[in-house]
Amino acid sequence: MKPTINAIFRPYSSSDALRSDRSAGDRQRHRQKVREAVRENIADLIAEESIIGKNKDRVIKVPIRGVKEYRFIYGENASGVGQGDGNSEKGQVIGKTDGTGQGQGEDKAGDQPGVDYYETDVTLEELIEIMFEDLELPDMERKILREVMSDRISKRKGFRKAGIRIRLDKKRTVKSRIKRRLASTGQDDDQTEERFPFRKEDLVYRHLVEDVRPESNAAVLCIMDTSGSMDTLKKYLARSFFFMLYQFVCTKYRNVEIAFIAHHTEGKEVTEEEFFYKGESGGTFISSGYNKALEVIQARYHPSLWNLYAFHCSDGDNFDSDNPAALKAAQELCELCNLFGYGEIKPLGSRYYESSMLNIFRRLEADNFQTVLIERKEDIWPSFKTFMSKERTPIATETRAAAEQ
């Protein structure tokens, strides 16, 4: 019997496959939207991250609001139907409302349009890149940063006829003697008794040039007031700021170290964990933190080798008697650091009745010093931008330039 339904087969062709990548345009447009959405959410995201996120391949889940497709859908009070293995009982827990632990396949019968748990994966590195795309640092400053030179390692670059003895290239010297002999006598072996001495023009020297590499050392000094008045919210804001500073410095230097200095009435160097999670009680001497920072710099990060970035977060509560000392120490820090900043964290509203260091620091005259006021999460990013605008030529080059003259 011949069937009356007709059928045709179109065989596979791989050239079609290439041509039919028609989703390319739509994918690109979607990708753009994701990036925009990430940029919008960045303030939220950075506040969550741990500072020493050294692993740049770490993947961060970014909930994307901008690219969700909204529809009218039912909310979570809706019940559904499923099937079990024959032993289902009332009260049994079968999953979570957020969809985890749910059985495989469709959780509800039919098509549930639109339920859109959309998250995108962004690596930390990508995130930082997007972050700093936003940061419109003037090109000049960037350039200066990149041209900071250190690591004076020599590297070979060709050969010369003149040079110091130690760089004599024996093999090439012998070769050129042989060449000269061939040219002058027509013999290439040493059989003849006649001496054929080396001459000055046979000598070949290796030529070395200095390999100049971009400066690679930087240290970030996080100084924070951990006195009783610094509550969790304040620390959280400080932490976001430190995170950005650290990540920014990481994009510029190869080797970045970070030091945490906590202070109340005395300064102490601590681990990241202690820094953010351990509360102390009592009063505040800001100068103690600065002096500790100066000590750390003296001991480990000499400014001729390290580019230093110091930032201090406090809520502005300081013993009045300490102010002159704090100012003096701040001045010293400014001299040593590429950038030194003071961030006063005052959750909204509290700035009117609490004392502030902002006025005191106004007396400090240094063009690489910046104070910022952070009142809420949204302030972090603008503050950071202001802060970075003050960066100056790294001290490390200047001192070296001075030494060379």
Partner 1 sequence: MAEWDVKDLEGWDEKIRVKVQEFGLSCFDQEFEVCDHNQMLGYMAYSGMPSHYPHWSYGKSFEKLKTMYDYGVSGLPYEMVINSDPSIAYLMTDNSFCLQILTIAHVYGHNDFFKNNFTFKSTQAEHTISRFKVHADRVRSYLEDPSIGVEKVEWILDAAHGLSLQCRRNLAIKKLTLREQRERMIEAARPADDPFEDLHQQKDIEAPDLNKLPASPEEDLLLFIRDHNDKLSDWERDLLTIVHETGQYFIPQMETKIMNEGWASYWHREIMNSLDLPQDLYLEFLVRHNQVVRPFPKGLNPYYLGLKVWDDIKRRHDDPTPEEIEKYGRPTKTGTQALFEAREVDRDASFLRRFLTEELMREMDMFEYEPRGEDLVISEVSDKEGWRGIKETLIKNVGMGGVPVIKIEDADYNQNRSLYVKHYHEGRDLQLEYAEKAISYLHRLWGHEVVLETVVNSKRALLSYSDDGFSAKPLK
- List the interface residues with partner 1, window 30-69 (CB under 8 A): 30-33, 67-69
Size of the site for partner 1 (CB under 8 A): 73
Please identify which residue in 15, 57, 105, 140 interacts with partner 1, judged by CB under 8 A: 105
Q: CA angle at residue 152 from 217 to 302, to 5 degrees?
A: 35
Name which of residues 163 to 202 contact partner 1 (CB under 8 A).
Answer: none
Closest among 256, 258, 262 to 223, alpha carbons compared: 262
Measured distance CA(47)–CA(403) in Å, rounded = 42
Please identify which residue in 15, 87, 281, 405 interacts with partner 1, judged by CB under 8 A: 87
* Inter-axis angle of helices 232-252 and 24-48, nearest 10: 130
Rounded least distance, CB 19 to partner 1, Å: 10
Cβ distance 334 to 245 under 8 Å?
no
Q: Which residue, 6 or 184, has its beta carbon nearer to partner 1?
A: 6
Q: Which residue, 91 or 186, has its beta carbon nearer to partner 1?
A: 91
Cβ distance 186 to 156 under 8 Å?
no
Please identify which residue in 57, 93, 139, 171 interacts with partner 1, judged by CB under 8 A: 93
**Residue 382 binds partner 1, judged by CB under 8 A:** no
DSSP, residue by residue, 178-224: HHHHHHHHS--SS-SSS-----GGG--EEEEEEEEEE--EEEEEEEE
Rounded least distance, CB 133 to partner 1, Å: 21
**Residue 15 binds partner 1, judged by CB under 8 A:** no
Q: How many CA atoms within 13 Å lie on the side-chain side of 343?
A: 33
Please identify which residue in 15, 57, 75, 348 interacts with partner 1, judged by CB under 8 A: 75
Cβ distance 261 to 221 under 8 Å?
yes
Measured distance CA(226)–CA(264) in Å, rounded = 6
Query: In sequence order, which residues have a C-beta less than 8 Å from that of residue 185 and are 6 or more positions away?
Result: 192, 196
Tell me the window of 104-112, 204-212, 304-312, 384-392 that interacts with partner 1 (CB under 8 A): 104-112
Measured distance CA(75)–CA(197) in Å, rounded = 97
Using DSSP's 3-state secondary structure scheme, residue 334 falls into: helix
Q: Which residue, 22 or 143, has its beta carbon nearer to partner 1?
A: 22
Please identify which residue in 28, 50, 187, 386 interacts with partner 1, judged by CB under 8 A: 28
**Residue 29 binds partner 1, judged by CB under 8 A:** yes
Please identify which residue in 50, 55, 88, 359 interacts with partner 1, judged by CB under 8 A: 88
Q: Which amino acid is at 100?
A: T
Q: Which residue, 7 or 166, has its beta carbon nearer to partner 1?
A: 7
**Contact track, partner 1, 114-133, x by CB under 8 A:** x---x---------------
Q: Which residue, 20 or 184, has its beta carbon nearer to partner 1?
A: 20
**Residue 257 binds partner 1, judged by CB under 8 A:** no
**Residue 349 binds partner 1, judged by CB under 8 A:** no
Q: Which residue, 22 or 170, has its beta carbon nearer to partner 1?
A: 22
Measured distance CA(263)–CA(372) in Å, rounded = 20
Query: Residue with structure tokens 């330039």?
Result: 401
The secondary structure of residue 349, as a DSSP letter, is T
Rounded least distance, CB 134 to partner 1, Å: 21
Please identify which residue in 83, 281, 321, 405 interacts with partner 1, judged by CB under 8 A: 83
- Looking only at the bridges linking them, the beta strands covering 255-263 and 267-270 are antiparallel
Q: How many CA atoms within 13 Å lie on the side-chain side of 234?
A: 25
Rounded least distance, CB 160 to partner 1, Å: 56
Q: Which residue, 29 or 200, has its beta carbon nearer to partner 1?
A: 29
Tokens of 88: 């289902």
Please identify which residue in 15, 36, 81, 152 interacts with partner 1, judged by CB under 8 A: 81
Q: Which residue, 93 or 140, has its beta carbon nearer to partner 1?
A: 93
| Number of neighbours of residue 352 by Cβ within 10 angstroms | 7
Tell me the window of 4-12, 47-55, 280-288, 383-391 that interacts with partner 1 (CB under 8 A): 4-12
Q: Which residue, 97 or 321, has its beta carbon nearer to partner 1?
A: 97
Tell me the window of 19-27, 181-189, 296-304, 342-350 that interacts with partner 1 (CB under 8 A): 19-27
Sign of CA dihedral 188, 192, 193, 194: negative
Rounded least distance, CB 18 to partner 1, Å: 9
